[in-house]
Amino acid sequence: MLRVGLTGGLGSGKSTAARLFAGLGAHVLQSDAIGRELMEPRQAVYAKIAAHFGPDVVLADGRLDRGALARIAFTDGRVEELNAIVHPAVIAREAELSEEIRARDSRAVVIVESALIFETKYSETKYSETKYGETKYGGLHGASGAGWQDRFDRIILVTAPEEVKIARFVARSAAGDALSNERRAGLEAEARRRIAQQIPDEQKSALCDYVLTNGGALTELEWQVDQLWPLLQDAAR
């Protein structure tokens, strides 16, 4: 089995790349989807979030208010508090699912789609409170012995120009609705805040095995995925 990390900043198109790999036969695990599942009522992660952030992040029906939680995390600068609860559980679940796939298919290519492979402090078994580094982006935590090196055999980075990333975030957030100038400006500012909290692509690319560029037409990304897929299959054998 080959364990592949697929990463990229907000709006890079890593989810699109993941869908393309899935169409070729890869087993794709989406960190965001796993996180959402673990944040449902009656899950341990849900209980920890509700206890830590208080009743303001819980809706009347008992579900988490994801909008309020995002505002607290990103706008109020408490994202690392949320990560400390969610990341270890998500990574542990990914490891469990990967082992289940391995048991069924020893030659499987398992791709974990995650925006924060390098940013997170946490590994599947234990984590450290050591700070990432001294740069304003946090550096690359434990670059010589980080948890991501134990989790993955290969890393793929999906990149796109920053303005393209921002435009994609705005379009996704609008969901087809017309935006006022004020609303558009707010979404653009939110995108920039989130991008600023992620390690720049230039730093990540040095640690990745493959880089896919996704600033143009979908066919360009499709071609790159098609070229890479046989290499991943060979490595899985």
DSSP H helices, 54-176, are 66-70, 79-104, 147-151, 162-174
Residues 6+ apart with CB under 8 A from 34: 90, 93, 94, 97
In a domain, 184, yes or no: yes
Q: Is the pLDDT at 126 greater than 50, yes or no?
A: no
| Residue 7 and residue 151 in contact, taking contact as beta carbons nearer than 8 Å | no
In a domain, 76, yes or no: no
Give DSSP secondary structure letters for 32-74: HHHHHHHTSTTSHHHHHHHHHH-GGGB-TTSSB-HHHHHIIII
Residue-number span of the structural domain to which 136 is assigned? 2-25+92-236
- What amino acid occupies position 190? E
In this predicted model, what pLDDT tens digit does every residue of 103-115 receive, in sequence order?
999 999 999 999 9
The CATH number covering residue 195 comes to 3.40.50.300
Helix (H, G, I), strand (E, B) or coil at 11: coil
> Residue 193: what pLDDT?
86
In a domain, 60, yes or no: no
Q: Is the pLDDT at 55 greater than 60, yes or no?
A: yes
d(CA 170, CA 94): 29
Q: On the CB side of 44, how many CA atoms lie within 13 Å of its CA? A: 7
In a domain, 99, yes or no: yes
Residues 6+ apart with CB under 8 A from 65: 56, 57, 58, 59
In a domain, 210, yes or no: yes
In a domain, 30, yes or no: no
In a domain, 194, yes or no: yes
Confidence label for 42 from pLDDT (cuts 50, 70 and 90)? very high
In a domain, 148, yes or no: yes
d(CA 235, CA 4): 10
> Residue 76: what pLDDT?
86
Which residue, chain included where needed, has tokens 């899950």?
A: 43
In this predicted model, what pLDDT tens digit does every residue of 67-96 receive, in sequence order?
999 889 878 889 889 999 999 999 999 999
Domain count for the chain, please give it. 1
- What amino acid occupies position 200? P
Mean pLDDT of 145-151: 74
> Residue 142: what pLDDT?
42
